[in-house]
Structure 1
């Protein structure tokens, strides 16, 4: 733990990580498509995540959406010449949205990206009809002590279940919990289906340098939404796995109440990585963006 703290302090002193804006535009999009679209969806990944988490949204273009993506330092072609600062990211997302001719703008945020979307939405000109879809949304202070303790507990459960401390054995079992929740983490003998999902799921993890990882997470423990955040008139909906081991349903429900009682669509038996385990979540989010009622499955 001391080593981690020292590492973070050193990283915080790095000139690159003192900056909150990089030299390159964090937005990536098809300019011609965006300029002529009446509907634009802006996708914001979670900390430590690539925009690849949104790869299942290509069919949104069939519904008239142009897609744009916000990138983080060290991923998707951006250098690590700055750190993720949520307030700066929200300002950049809003500034981009305010250049659009589109009448409808939907912000789709995953995990940390959901908080950025919430903070950006009120800064977008009301001439745009803005919606916010939050998938597996982070909560303030990155979940704080409760999330830290739950992560440590789950790692301990993975060690007990595998009777090992070897990363090669423990990490796949920990992934099972991340994908599907504690039941999967503690299964005495994982089913072939679960084993296949864990193997496939582990491949979506993007290797990160230490500097990139710290650039993404440095600001999160102290981050909270501004007290004057006003989402009046902006439709917001949460899409969560009901077994999410990162941000619990209780934490998410409490957070929903804090920002005005956001509707929550929950997926039984699912963890934090809905984009992988339930890619149909993007159909539900698209329905929300189009003002359609939720589908019954």
Structure 2
């Protein structure tokens, strides 16, 4: 425990992690596509997640959108020369959106990315007709003690279910919970489909690197809704797995009320990683962005 405290202290004091902006533009997009499209969608991943969580969004381009992706330190070619700070990221996203003269803007945020989208939207010129689609949105303080306790409980449940501390046995069971909820932790030996989903998930997560982990997580426990956040006139919708073990349906519902009553589209039997288990969530989000009634498919 003593060494863990020292490690946290050293990571927190690292010059790279004291900065909130890096030397490289965090946004990646196609300039040619931006020039020809009259609609832009900005995808913002969750902490410790690559922009690859949004790989199943080609249909947005077919619908006339230019896609842009916001990157985090240490992932997708971005160096670890700063830490993720939601307020700074929101300003980056808003600045990019405000350059899109004559275009509408949709913000699609996953988990932590949803918080950034919420902060960014009021900073964007209303002429952009901005909308926010939030998938598995994080809540204030990163979920706080309730999320930490649930995570620890799920880890212990995985140990009990497998009777092992071998990570090769534990991780498939723990991932089953992330994918489909706590009940999946008690399932028999993981199915081929679950193992395939775990392998796919490994491609979009952060490598096991302490510096990257701290650069993504340092700011999140202290994040709360800005006191002056004004989302009036900005359509917002939440898309969640009803078995999400990270941010429970109750936490999300409470967060929705605090925002004035955001509509919630819930997917039964699904966990936190809808982009893996229900990639059609992006079709539902596209319906929302286009102003069409959105529903479960």
- TM-score bracket, normalised by the shorter chain, equals over 0.9
1:121-152 residue CA offsets vs partner (Å, 9 max, x unmatched): 00001111000000000001000010000000
1:4 positional shift: 3.3
1:136 equivalent in structure 2: 136
**Mapped contact 1:34–1:40 kept (Cα < 8 A):** yes
SS at match of 2:46: coil
Residue 225 of structure 1: CA displacement? 1.4
Q: State whether residues 35 and 101 of structure 1, in contact with CA within 8 Å, keep that contact through their aligned partners in structure 2.
A: no
- Output aligned runs, 1:122-133, within 5 Å: 122-133=122-133
* Equivalent residues in 2 for 1:280-295, closer than 5 Å: 280-295=280-295
CA contact (8 A) 2:242 2:270 kept: yes
TM-score in terms of structure 1 length: 0.96
Query: Could you say which residue in structure 1 is the equivalent of 2:255?
Result: 255
Cα contact 1:40–1:102 (8 A) shared by 2 = no
Deviation at 1:198, TM superposition (A): 3.8
1:66: Cα distance to partner? 0.3
Whether the 8 Å contact between 2:41 and 2:106 is mirrored in structure 1 is: yes
- Taking a change above 3 Å as real, the CA distance of residues 142 and 2 of structure 1, as seen in their structure-2 partners, is farther
Partner of 1:164: 164
1:8, distance to aligned residue in structure 2 (A): 2.0
Question: Taking structure 1 as reference, are residues 208 and 194 closer, same or farther at Cα in structure 2, changes over 3 Å only?
Answer: closer
Q: How many residues align?
A: 297
> Residues 75 and 280 of structure 1: is their aligned pair in 2 closer, same or farther, counting only changes over 3 Å?
same
Partner of 2:245: 245
Shift of 1:206: 3.6
2:265–2:296 contact (8 Å) kept in structure 1: no
Q: Distance in 2 between matches of 1:128 and 1:200?
A: 35
Cα pair 2:49 2:204 within 8 Å, conserved: no
Shift of 1:276: 0.6
Return the alpha-carbon distance in structure 1 between the equivalents of residues 67 and 153 of structure 2: 38
With normalisation by structure 2, the TM-score equals 0.96
SS of the aligned residue for 1:138 comes to coil
Quote the residue 2:214 is aligned against: 214
CA–CA separation in structure 2 for the residues paired with 1:205 and 1:38: 32
Asked whether the equivalents of residues 267 and 296 of structure 2 are also in contact (C-alpha less than 8 Å), the reply is no
CA contact (8 A) 1:8 1:218 kept: no
Secondary structure at 2:221's aligned position in 1? Answer: coil
Unaligned runs of 5+ in 1: none
State the Cα deviation string for residues 189-238 of structure 1 (Å, max 9, x = none): 44454444444444543414210111000110111110110000000000
Give secondary structure in 2 for the equivalent of 1:11. helix
Measure the CA separation in 2 of the matches of 1:5 and 1:277. Answer: 36
Cα RMSD (Å): 1.4
Deviation at 1:23, TM superposition (A): 0.5
Q: Structure 2: which 5+ runs fail to align?
A: none
Residues 66 and 203 from structure 1, CA distance in 2 versus in 1: closer, same or farther, beyond 3 angstroms?
closer
Pairing 1:12-51 to 2, within 5 Å after superposition: 12-51=12-51
